[in-house]
Amino acid sequence: MDQVLGLTPEDWQAIFLTLRLATLVTIILLVIATPVAWWLTTTRSKLKPIVGALVALPLVLPPTVIGFYLLIAMGPSGPVGEFTQSLGLGTLPFTFAGLVIASVIYSFPFVVQPIQNSFEALGKRPLEVAATLRASRLDTFFTVILPLAKPGFITATILGFAHTVGEFGVILMIGGNIPGETQVISVLIYEHVESLQYAQAHSLSAAMIIFSFVVLLLLYGFNQKQKSIRVIN
């Protein structure tokens, strides 16, 4: 079998599937997490601690626990599974769509929290200035708050993407190991090790280490740059 950079076509298929999954999940997370983070920042509701705890729950729950309950919910007898079947869509487990939903839930706090922290760091001053200019709340949010919170969004994007790439437990529970459909890098490494194909496992693992290092380097470099800008200002 022909290899490119020590990786087989099966490896490349898993890599491209993982990148496709991580990109799609990150986009969805940014869209969903932004209003949630803004609500958590500005609300005075008594439900805030409960919602905040629910958002952070994937941080402390074992991936297998999350995967198990998602599998039950999305299965033929689960509420989500019954709903998708009523729409003629079948069930979500062991499909790419199922992986996307599971990954969004599992990586949610890694995107919400950096954005929320960025919103909270702005304080009330930008809102007060915008109010004196008679700007609407929606206009203030898109033209004032979002640009000022850019560092938080960049951090959230990096963390959300990287965390999705490195997922294993939830992915294995929901997607299994179907080449071209649900077989991502982490699952393929596990398969290589199980079949004693240590050379292939080594190639993919080394690639993951390099990727993780680059991601962390970019993240720390960006944070250091932001600190330097604050000091200058």
For 215-227, write each residue's pLDDT tens digit: 888 877 776 776 6
Give me the mean pLDDT over the 119-144 stretch.
Answer: 81
Q: What does the pLDDT read at residue 28? A: 97
Confidence at residue 1, expressed as pLDDT on a 0 to 100 scale: 44
Q: Is the pLDDT of residue 103 over 70?
A: yes
pTM score of the predicted model = 0.87
Asked if 8 and 185 count as a contact pair (C-beta separation under 8 A), the reply is no
Is residue 229 over pLDDT 80?
no
Most confident of the following: 26-30, 91-95, 188-192 = 26-30
Task: Answer for the pair 115, 149: CB distance below 8 angstroms, yes or no.
Answer: yes
| Average pLDDT score over residue span 153-178 | 90
pLDDT tens track for 36-71: 999 999 998 999 999 999 999 999 999 999 999 999
Mean pLDDT of 168-189: 90
On the question of pLDDT at 129 being above 90, the answer is no
pLDDT of 4 higher than 60: no
Supply the mean pLDDT for the chain.
87
CA–CA separation, 76 and 153 (whole Å): 37
pLDDT(5) > 80: no
Q: What is the DSSP letter of 196?
A: T
Domains annotated for the chain, with CATH where assigned, are 9-228 (1.10.3720.10)
Given a cut of 50, is residue 118 above it in pLDDT? yes
**Region 202-208 average pLDDT:** 86
Q: What count of other Cβ atoms lies within 10 Å of the Cβ of residue 175? A: 26
Three-state SS string over 92-148 comes to CCCCHHHHHHHHHHHHHHHHHHHHHHHHHHHCCHHHHHHHHCCCCHHHHHHHHHHHH
Q: Per-residue confidence at 214, pLDDT binned at 50, 70, 90? A: confident
Instruction: Report the C-alpha gap between 131 and 193 in whole angstroms.
Output: 60
Q: Is the pLDDT of residue 98 over 90?
A: yes
Q: Which two tokens stand for residue 52?
A: 């905040």
